Amino acid sequence: MIFDRNENKDVIALLGAGSMGTAIVRRIAAGRKILLGDISEKNLEQVSHDLQYSGYDVEICVVNALDKTSVESFAEKAASLGNVKYFIDTAGASPSQASPEHILKLDMVGTGYAVDAFGKMMAARGAGLIISSQTGYMHRLPDEVELEILRTPTDKLMDIAYIKKTAVQSGIAYMIAKRVNHLQAQKAAATTWKERRARINTISPGIIVTPLAYDEFKAAGDNYQVMIDSSAAMRTASSDEIAEAGAFLLGEHAAFITGTDLLIDGGVIASIRTGAYKLH
């Protein structure tokens, strides 16, 4: 049975087919073509199956987000399917899952590869969204370092002296990578994505319950519970809550928003800044 005879559909590209990215896609994908990219073919097939059985038009592509050529091929495939109207990047590794070097290469450099590649493919009035983290607010970078990051090509980010010296633990590497995500969106919004007449923003979620998040909960002991209890919301959030905000930033009602970050953390950073919660 042919469910949709419409042609020339706008394309949504999702890099990292996890629960958060998939939830965002479900909000915006009706009548559009979805291209899922992930390093795991098994995960791609499962997510694709679930979306197809919900009535969505889906294609898949195995992507190694650490590899520049692989990411560029993913962007080219998206463009071959139609006008790339939306790009969402959720690929990353958490502190309990990887070494500092791997986190920097995937969450920082890999994200830069994706931003650069889709900056050449986005359709006019398209929009991109990087899923960063509340941890991007937990390790302040000196102003001069942020300026250096903004002026440094993606391939050279690992060579920045401050990053090499400071990102020696997985947690700190993760914080730095997520702050760099904010800066990557700012840079792209003002340069390459601007030239395409497209927008790009970041979202910094707090404690969101996903299958992968359970690894962090187990590794952190009581720390996450204390963080939750100290926040204004006093609870975790779901991927669907992040998806609501993501759909807004990608949609027409946010057409004047680009190069910015939306912190969605239930008040954790506010608790840290006011002293109600202290990082350990």
The string of pLDDT tens digits covering residues 53-97 is 999 999 999 999 999 999 999 999 999 999 999 999 999 998 888
Query: Is 187 tagged catalytic?
Result: no
For the residues 144-159, what does the mean pLDDT come to? Answer: 98
| φ/ψ bin of 140: left (φ > 0), alpha (ψ from -120 to 50), beta (otherwise) | beta
For the residues 212-240, what does the mean pLDDT come to? Answer: 84
Whether residue 269 is predicted with pLDDT greater than 90 in this model: the reply is yes
Alpha carbon separation from 140 to 65, 79, 179 (Å, rounded)? 26, 37, 8
* Residue 221: per-residue pLDDT: 67
Q: Quick one: pLDDT band at residue 238, thresholds 50, 70, 90?
A: very high
Give me the catalytic one of 178, 187, 214, 218. Answer: 178
Query: Is 77 tagged catalytic?
Result: no
Average pLDDT along the chain:
95
Whether residue 268 is predicted with pLDDT greater than 80 in this model: the reply is yes
Q: Quick one: pLDDT band at residue 211, thresholds 50, 70, 90?
A: confident
Tell me if 37 sits within 8 A of 12, measured CB to CB: no
Buried b or exposed e, range 16-28, using 16+ CB within 10 angstroms: bbbbbbbbbbbbb
For the residues 194-199, what does the mean pLDDT come to? Answer: 98
**2-11, 40-49, 260-269: range with lowest mean pLDDT:** 2-11
| CA gap 252, 151 in Å, rounded | 30
- Which residue type sits at 100? P
Whether residue 185 is predicted with pLDDT greater than 80 in this model: the reply is yes
* Residue 220: per-residue pLDDT: 63
Give me the catalytic one of 174, 187, 214, 218. Answer: 174
Report the DSSP beta bridge partners of residue 60. Answer: 36
For the residues 143-165, what does the mean pLDDT come to? Answer: 98
Query: What CATH architecture does domain 11-274 belong to?
Result: 3-Layer(aba) Sandwich (3.40)
For the residues 208-213, what does the mean pLDDT come to? Answer: 81
